[in-house]
A and B are shown apart, each in its own frame.
Chain A
Amino acid sequence: MDEVKNEAPLPTLPREEMSFSLLEYAVICIVVPVLWGLAVVWASNRIERIVLRRRKGSKGRRKQALPPIEYHI
């Protein structure tokens, strides 16, 4: 197996992202998806509560609105 020198440059950040410093960009890469994750949890909890309330009101049955995500393997 011969090693061949790589002529292509390593991938770098595009110009619009370079307007931030690299450190700020790295922090944003964590904060933005985390905020999205928190928003998803908040929204799914709200939906679960609303569906539960409606089910309780109509039939008095306590059934989970959305099944929690579980590991199955």
Chain B
Amino acid sequence: MLSVHLGAGIGHPVFLPELALVGLFIGYVAGMFGVGGGFLLTPMLIYLFGVPAPIAVGSALCQKCGTSIASFLKYRSLERGDPRIDLVMLGGSLIGVDAGTRVLKRLSELGSWRIGNGPEVPAINVVLDVLFIVLLSGIAAYTFRDAWQARRRVVPRGDRTIPGPLVTRVRIPPYIDLPDVQLAQVSVPMLAYIGFVLGMASGLMGIGGGVLFMPILLYGYGLSLRNAAGTGVLLLFVTVSLGTFEQALQGYVSLKLAMAILIGSSVGSQLGALTTHYLPNRTLRLIFAIVVAGTVVMIGWDLSRLLRG
């Protein structure tokens, strides 16, 4: 009775409470660590529910339309970040999300690959698995390192911006001044290129891009945690909306699946945000790194299972 057909090419029925639990978990992680959770959601939909990879990507983007508009309104009310960065990156991001969707379509048309003497495996699953493993391994390593270094910080730096290498070393004109986040002479083309990469990741992998963008803002541009948090949310909303639209036109979005996850994650994100009051920042980062590393192991195990048959 609780199993439903989700449509959009997902042939088998899916057990609704399981889906709601995954939504709750994703929301909890998102609320606790302040990331969208797309890097977890897409692999979980593929491996736990057997959702075809393109549908998992499209539905994850659709779910993020709801979470990103809520985040944007919250951060605007707190006056965090500088939405001008989002606007500069928007052009590159929109082209990127279109490119990502086209690559996803092309990959889904590739059919299957036989690697060595193993069985035939869907090409799209292999490519997405490898991309997720590379991306998430980098993020886990970076977060571990950052949490380790945080032991030595005695005084928090507050809201002060310390211009990073993407401001001081990348000198491609024209430039823009961003006084709201205490940055001057920031290269506009560099921001547009980063927007393109983030958009591409959204269209191809169904991730919002926060998990990539935060390290860029914190270490590349040297923004404080609070300013970095409020930056990119408008970009995220526009990118995932366009991504959802394009993926839905390809038939890659299951609205039922996205809404079931979204409803669960709305509750989970509030619980996750409450947890942040009881755990220190460094512990949160360590837990986050462990969650990401666990996801890498899950994807790696699934890939090896696929290749072995």
Interface residue ranges, A against B (CB under 8 Å): 1-7, 10-14, 16-17, 22-23, 25-30, 32-34, 36-38, 40-41, 44, 66-73
Bound form: Cα–Cα A6–B105 in Å = 13
How far does the Cβ of A29 sit from chain B's closest Cβ, in whole Å? 4
Question: B7 interface residue, CB < 8 Å from A?
Answer: yes
Do residues A10 and B78 form an inter-chain contact, with CB atoms below 8 A? no
Residues of B within 8 A of A10 (CB): 9, 108-109, 251
Q: Is B120 an interface residue (CB 8 A)?
A: yes
**Pairwise interchain contact A33-B114, C-beta atoms closer than 8 A:** no
Compute how far the CA of A2 lies from the CA of B119 in the bound complex, rounded to whole angstroms: 11
Q: Chain A contacts of B9 at CB under 8 A?
A: 10-13
- What 5 pairs across the A-B complex have the smallest Cβ distances? A11-B9, A6-B111, A71-B34, A33-B66, A26-B248
- In the bound complex, residues from chain B placing their C-beta under 8 Å from that of A28 are 255
Question: How near does chain B come to A55, taking the closest CB pair, in angstroms?
Answer: 15
The answer for the CA separation of A70 and B288 in the assembled complex, in Å, is 14
A72 with B245: in contact, given A5-B111, A6-B110 (CB under 8 Å)? no
- Indicate if B68 sits at the interface (CB-CB under 8 A): yes
Q: Nearest-CB distance from A70 to chain B (Å)?
A: 5
Nearest A residue to B31 via CB reads A69
Closest CB-CB distance, A14 to chain B, in whole Å? 4
**Which chain B residues border A7 with CB–CB below 8 Å?**
111
Residues in B91-147 with C-beta less than 8 Å from chain A = 108-115, 120, 123, 139, 143, 146
* Measured CA separation A56–B30 after assembly (Å): 30
* Distance of A58 Cα from B262 Cα, bound (Å): 35
**When the two chains form the complex, which single residue of A14, A33, A69, A72 contacts B8, counting CB atoms closer than 8 Å?**
A14
Q: Which residues on B are within 8 Å of A, measured CB to CB?
A: 5, 7-10, 30-35, 52, 54-55, 62-71, 73-75, 78, 108-115, 120, 123, 139, 143, 146, 210-211, 214-215, 225-226, 228-229, 241, 244-246, 248-249, 251-253, 255, 258-259, 262-263, 266, 269-270, 272-274, 276-277, 281, 284-285, 288
**Residue numbers in A under 8 Å from B108 (CB-CB):** 10
Please name 22 pairs of A and B residues whose Cβ atoms are closer than 8 Å in the assembled complex, sorted by A: A1-B114, A3-B111, A11-B8, A11-B252, A12-B9, A13-B9, A26-B246, A29-B248, A29-B258, A33-B66, A36-B266, A37-B65, A37-B67, A37-B70, A37-B262, A44-B270, A66-B270, A66-B273, A67-B273, A68-B74, A71-B225, A72-B34
Q: Which residues of A contact B241 (CB under 8 A)?
A: 30, 34
A3 to B226, CA, bound (A): 48
CA distance A36 to B262 in the complex (A): 8
Q: Considering the chains assembled together, what is the distance between the CA atoms of A41 and B75 in angstroms?
A: 11
Tell me the smallest distance from the CB of B95 to a CB of chain A, in Å. 19
Please determine whether B34 and A73 come into contact, CB atoms closer than 8 angstroms: yes
Interface contact B7-A13, CB-CB below 8 Å: yes
Decide if B269 touches A69 in the complex (CB within 8 Å): yes
B66 in contact with A37 (CB, 8 Å): yes
Report the bound CA distance from A33 to B10 in whole Å.
Answer: 20
**How far, in whole Å, are A6 and B65 apart by their CA atoms in the complex?**
32
